[in-house]
Structure 1
Amino acid sequence: MESLHRIFSFTSMSAEDLAFNRLDFWIFFLAFMVLFSVLHKNKLVRSMFIAAASLFLYFKTSGFFVTLLALSVVVNFFLGKWIFKVDNKLGRKWIIAFSAIFNLFFLFFFKYAHFFTDSFNKMFHTKYEVFNTFAQWGNGFFGAGTFEEMILMPAGISFFTFQSISYVVDIYRKEIAPVKNIWDYAFYVTYFPHVLMGPIVRARDFIPQIYQKFQLSQKEFSEAVFMIMKGLFKKIVLADFIATHFIDSVVDNPEGFPGYVSVIAMWGYSLQIYGDFSGYTDIAIGISKLMGFELLPNFNSPYKANSVADFWRRWHKSLGSWLKDYLYIPLGGNKKGTIGTFVAIIIIFVFLIFITGWYELIFVYVGLMSLYGIAILISPKVKTFMYRDLNLLITMILGGLWHGASQNFVIWGAMNGLALVIYNHWKKVSPYEKSSWWIVHFWKILFTFNFITFTRIWFRLKTEGAPNKMLDRIFNHFDFEWEKFTVILSTYAPALLIMLLGFFIHWIPQKWKDFMVSSFVKTHMVVQMLIIAVFIVILYQAASDSFHPFVYLEF
């Protein structure tokens, strides 16, 4: 009873307490499905119920930040209606501009206020401080202590902001029509399986499902259950176990280990973050399927990628698709540059120089522009490549900044953007680009995986200067000795074996994985229940004493 009161009372809990890998969430979901089974036949009632339940869950995890989510729903719903009715081209542009400013303002205020203020202070040697104006207004109206005056980031703000922008932009582009009522829109934006950590759901993919009749076959039910089990396995076994029993010990104290152990730990981190985020996505897809709704896959075996470009087509596909359609293409994409392209690239380079202190980047910038200038004089066609390269760099750097307010995320994005630029030129002259030789294919996968893992040093180690400590251990204190290596193997044997298992499962052919799914679906319900029971026992044994929240909860 105490547990039920904690979950269903109007008192806040942390987002970690109601994450997919916590029992409290599954108690909530079970109660939700009981009511959903009664109310789902009427589409409007279904939308109202799901929206209300989603807002309640958001309130439980984020407190009064639910008012921000509700405000976003109301404003963007009416902006969508408004822009659909306006025929004047200039008027429509003003509405879309207001929509972008409104949505991005809250994202920048809550997520980046401290980051940009600190960067400004460092750049101009000032001492400005950030204060929460909205909390002060709210406390003055509702009473002192109602709102936290420290600027805290609302859970899921990056995801529901991008969804809101894409909804209005898609109506502006006449790709979709507005939803019929505000409850349908609230359902789309606040839908609890994805509102906190994604995937980013596009209106054109999801909204048509709101008006469809609920259907759930035995096959779909079994597939949903398998997806949930797969996601929990990835999170609890592949991600949390190796993080608790190996990765965290090394990454948080690289000076205490030989450099090669940091390399192994970062390989493990690549598996951890994949298991963590794709595991969340699998669970979200599974529980959504139980309600009769389809969420698009967000990952496609990313470590099978044979190039950086291939990797970003496979990893976090919903974000990549969003950045492509709403940032890269509007900047000009592959074909042209805009004023925004050149303004953005200058601002980004200046910003990178001052937040990193790497003043040598000035020479990199001047050198790149000079090379492009000379190439354009030789062949005007180079302009197209220049625009594509600049637009790619801008998109990836801003994609890095989307992940977090840290110079390390910006560096991580810039490194991946530069890699994409280099690859786009290299593939035109590489004699191995279209090779079918298995050794070439193996090498390309290995090189891509290691490059992605290397850049994640800046992704995992968020504090300033921390990546340099690990790099120093790797390059200056590699110190491989067989005797010490055997000690490392024996000390961390369980975690290392789980790592090997995780990579084996990831790299096996897709048809093997499809066979496992189809085999589970075809088995009798009693056998499925036995499999689930055994699976739960295994998860319980593998579960760590220390709780690991989902990585993307902080984004």
Structure 2
Amino acid sequence: MIDYKDILLYDKDAPMLFSGAFFWFFFAVVLFGYTLLYKKNFARTGFLFLMSLFFYYKSGGYFFTLLLFSTLVDYYIGKYIHRTEKPLNRKLLLAASIFINLALLAYFKYYYFFVDTVNGLSGTNYEVLDHLSLLSNTFAGTEFDISSVILPVGISFYTFQTISYSFDIYRKKLAPVKNMIDFGFYVTFFPQLIAGPIVRAADFIPQLYQKFSLTKEEFGHAVYLILIGLTKKMVISDYISINFVDRVFDAPLAYSGFENLMGLYGYAIQIYCDFSGYTDIAIGVSLLLGFRLLLNFNSPYKAENITDFWRRWHISLSSWLKDYLYISLGGNQKSSVFVYLVFPFTLAAMVFVNSFSVINLSALGILIGVWVLSLIFKQKKIFRYLTWAAIAAMAYLMLDIYTLLGKTALVDPNWYAFWFLIVTLVSWVLTVIFPKIKVKVTTMINLLLTMLLGGLWHGANIKFIIWGAIHGVALALDKIRIAIYGNAKKLGRIEHFIAVFFTFHVVCFAWLYFRAGSRETVDLMLDQMFYHFGFELNDHLKTFYLTSVLFASVGFIVYRIIAASRGEYSRPNRVAAVPFLIFRDLINLPLFNLAVLFAWHVVFFGVQFIGSYFGYVTGESLGLAVMPEMLQSYRIIFLLIAVGFIIHLLPVSFKELYRGWFIKIPMWSKVLVCVLVVLILYQAKSSDVQPFIYFQF
């Protein structure tokens, strides 16, 4: 017997997911109602708005009221921004939109982080209390649990959407919607509500006033995306997560270094298939309803550099951060007051948390005071004297921290403050000594802050901030590379392979922090990968490895000399270019050698495996007889990881072939393929439906 309570009421233990059967029953109901109303824009918008609210209720419970509150606030703020022409009023209204949305996000997502920080600063023992639930219980008679703050599903995504709406109206790029229902539908549109892609108002709202249209090709493409998305999620992502990746990250010491490395590779494929699978389904479902969402993933692991990676990975987030955060901070033109102030006050928080001496606090106070005064007197001669005084105070503070920490480098959390201080000091000195490069330095700072805040957007945990910092530093270094090399021409096959290989491993290194439950897990996994790979290198192989690195290094230098001699530079500059090129490549060699080391571990494992049959190599910590058994036990896991990479790296032209084939086949063939995929999904399905990774954000 059907229990209608299970259908209509929210169950926190069984939220509605794309990979669950109930969602597709829900979507069938939506399609049935949509076929009756799609010809009338207002009717279809109102119907989809109500169904989207129900979808959010089934996914996140009573937090749909918070979603409605944000919708109301930004609808009216956008309306008033459009009406007024006074710059001050427009800025105040925009600031109100940003403050209200970020305040709600901070309360639900960062409350625990804030309380822990306060307790760390003051030595108190405050506990988290849900004050909003307490108010509701007091005045509305509800019975919500007030002992913890629950994170509303999708709040990070719809917060960014509503802020972008107010921003676009403020920048006069968009006129406000005609009515509240239209705006509510834009915010709550269910395919992308929970985990993106982040939809821009300028891209989506004009579609509300267009007639429904869906060609046969678009229908085939939509079904294709849904099938591909479900396969990515349920066949690849969930399987390797449950049966391998989660186990390795939970207990890295129980696995060899090779297994830890494969666990990291597995997570790279898992998160890609999970998130791109979700967005494929979202884009496909939206297209069936007549709405076109933009591409969110474009084979990110094909990227030749980290800048290219962020043009391919989570495109809606990276473009949002660029347009609404990076540019607002000053972009590549200048620095905002926020950028100037965030450094000393962040440093102050670090120093207070780490309980440094009173002398250090005095030096820090002078530093912050001078920094603020330098903003006021930046056009006067006193600015230079104040700046050098502050630099001296900062250098003293850095020296004192170094003396205090001594040999605990990179182990003690205080070193985060130390490295932050170094970045601040070097940046400031460069802008004072070389005023002409001030814009470039501030560009790097803006980029780093954007990625730090982008990392924090993912979660209130230091691991996400470190993940953002790694990408921020990598992007800044890539900017420097472009400034030195210029925009690279099309790379040759070998150069392309090296560039993609290196970029992928930088991304994987960042994924290590993103996925690991703690910094200790990161340390253990790195230790296993570099020192307990599963066998010992004998002296001959160590010599071979070191020789290969040496020859690669010398090869880089010789290559640059030949390039210069062939006319890479004009004749008068060739002699000067050679030492410059050598120096430049020597700087890059440690990074290249790190990439070689990763490749060496993988290649050496294969050499040892083959050598086990010929007796050329001896293994000690991992017996040769165990290797075939280990590979046999992981055959499905490694096969799925390999398939994930192969499909990901296939040329676009090849992918278009089988996509085009599916679109062109007759309807009965499409139905047959769908049935076959459903059977495969049923066989691959785990006992519990796994939530999408980005649901937690």
Q: Per the shorter chain, which TM-score range?
A: over 0.9
Q: 1:39, 1:147 → 2: CA distance?
A: 40
2:519 is the counterpart of 1:521: no
Residue of 480, 483, 499 corresponding to 1:425: 480
Q: 1:455, 1:369 → 2: CA distance?
A: 23
* 3-state SS in 2 of match to 1:292: coil
How big is the shift at 1:528?
A: 1.2
Residue of 313, 316, 320 corresponding to 2:314: 316
Off by >6 Å, runs of 4+ in structure 1:
none
* Distance change >3 Å, CA 387–CA 157, structure 1 → 2: same
5 Å matches for 1:73-472?
73-146=71-144, 149-349=147-347, 354=353, 358-430=413-485, 433-434=488-489, 436-463=491-518, 465-472=520-527
Name 2:630's counterpart in structure 1.
Answer: 488
Residue of 545, 550, 555 corresponding to 2:687: 545
2:11 is the counterpart of 1:13: yes
Q: Is the CA contact (8 Å cut-off) linking 2:350 and 2:417 kept in structure 1? A: no
Q: Is the CA contact (8 Å cut-off) linking 1:64 and 1:147 kept in structure 2? A: no
Name 1:512's counterpart in structure 2.
Answer: 654
* 3-state SS in 2 of match to 1:128: coil
How big is the shift at 1:432?
A: 10
TM-score (norm 2): 0.77
How big is the shift at 1:429?
A: 3.1
Q: 1:335, 1:487 → 2: CA distance?
A: 58
* Distance change >3 Å, CA 215–CA 359, structure 1 → 2: same
Letter of the 1:180 partner, please give it.
K
Letter of the 2:216 partner, please give it.
Q
Q: 1:278, 1:522 → 2: CA distance?
A: 24
Listed one character per residue, the Cα deviations across residues 168-199 of structure 1 (whole Å, up to 9, x for unaligned) are 11101110000000000000001110111111
* Distance change >3 Å, CA 435–CA 350, structure 1 → 2: farther
Letter of the 1:510 partner, please give it.
V
* 3-state SS in 1 of match to 2:15: helix
Q: Is the CA contact (8 Å cut-off) linking 1:15 and 1:62 kept in structure 2? A: no
Q: Is the CA contact (8 Å cut-off) linking 1:132 and 1:149 kept in structure 2? A: yes
Q: 2:437, 2:127 → 1: CA distance?
A: 45
Listed one character per residue, the Cα deviations across residues 432-479 of structure 1 (whole Å, up to 9, x for unaligned) are 943622111101101111111111111111345332222232233223
Letter of the 1:6 partner, please give it.
D
Q: Is the CA contact (8 Å cut-off) linking 2:134 and 2:144 kept in structure 1? A: no
How big is the shift at 1:110?
A: 0.3
* 3-state SS in 1 of match to 2:435: coil
How big is the shift at 1:6?
A: 1.8
Q: Is the CA contact (8 Å cut-off) linking 1:258 and 1:473 kept in structure 2? A: yes
Q: 1:149, 1:518 → 2: CA distance?
A: 54
Unaligned ranges ≥5, structure 2: 355-410, 536-621
User: What percentage of aligned pairs have identical amino acids?
Assistant: 41
* Distance change >3 Å, CA 148–CA 28, structure 1 → 2: farther
Q: Is the CA contact (8 Å cut-off) linking 1:344 and 1:394 kept in structure 2? A: no
Name 2:529's counterpart in structure 1.
Answer: 474
Name 2:675's counterpart in structure 1.
Answer: 533
Listed one character per residue, the Cα deviations across residues 257-292 of structure 1 (whole Å, up to 9, x for unaligned) are 112211111001000000000000000000000000
* 3-state SS in 2 of match to 1:328: helix
Unaligned ranges ≥5, structure 1: none
How big is the shift at 1:236?
A: 0.8
Q: 2:283, 2:4 → 1: CA distance?
A: 26
Q: Is the CA contact (8 Å cut-off) linking 1:138 and 1:147 kept in structure 2? A: no
Listed one character per residue, the Cα deviations across residues 78-119 of structure 1 (whole Å, up to 9, x for unaligned) are 111111101111111111111111111100000000012112
Letter of the 1:493 partner, please give it.
R
Q: Which moved more, 1:334-343 or 1:205-214?
A: 334-343
How big is the shift at 1:427?
A: 3.2
How big is the shift at 1:15?
A: 8.0
Q: Is the CA contact (8 Å cut-off) linking 2:15 and 2:58 kept in structure 1? A: no
Q: 2:242, 2:269 → 1: CA distance?
A: 13
* 3-state SS in 2 of match to 1:360: helix
* 3-state SS in 2 of match to 1:17: coil
Q: 1:445, 1:241 → 2: CA distance?
A: 26
Q: Which moved more, 1:120-129 or 1:488-497?
A: 120-129
Q: 1:296, 1:36 → 2: CA distance?
A: 22
Listed one character per residue, the Cα deviations across residues 471-493 of structure 1 (whole Å, up to 9, x for unaligned) are 23223322334444433211111
Q: 1:478, 1:552 → 2: CA distance?
A: 31
How big is the shift at 1:374?
A: 4.1
Letter of the 1:426 partner, please give it.
R
Name 2:20's counterpart in structure 1.
Answer: 22
How big is the shift at 1:358?
A: 2.5
How big is the shift at 1:343?
A: 1.7
Q: 1:124, 1:350 → 2: CA distance?
A: 14
* Distance change >3 Å, CA 39–CA 431, structure 1 → 2: closer
Letter of the 1:69 partner, please give it.
L
Q: Is the CA contact (8 Å cut-off) linking 1:240 and 1:544 kept in structure 2? A: yes
Name 2:2's counterpart in structure 1.
Answer: 2
Letter of the 1:329 partner, please give it.
I
Q: Which moved more, 1:520-529 or 1:472-481?
A: 472-481
Letter of the 2:248 partner, please give it.
V
Q: 2:336, 2:656 → 1: CA distance?
A: 45
* 3-state SS in 2 of match to 1:371: helix
Q: 1:449, 1:162 → 2: CA distance?
A: 28
Letter of the 1:326 partner, please give it.
Y
Name 2:562's counterpart in structure 1.
Answer: none
TM-score (norm 1): 0.96
* Distance change >3 Å, CA 331–CA 2, structure 1 → 2: same
Listed one character per residue, the Cα deviations across residues 102-144 of structure 1 (whole Å, up to 9, x for unaligned) are 1111000000000121122123322122211110111112325
Name 2:557's counterpart in structure 1.
Answer: none
Q: Which has the larger radius of gyration?
A: 2
Q: Which moved more, 1:182-191 or 1:42-51?
A: 42-51
Q: Is the CA contact (8 Å cut-off) linking 1:246 and 1:495 kept in structure 2? A: yes
Letter of the 2:6 partner, please give it.
R
Q: 1:399, 1:350 → 2: CA distance?
A: 21
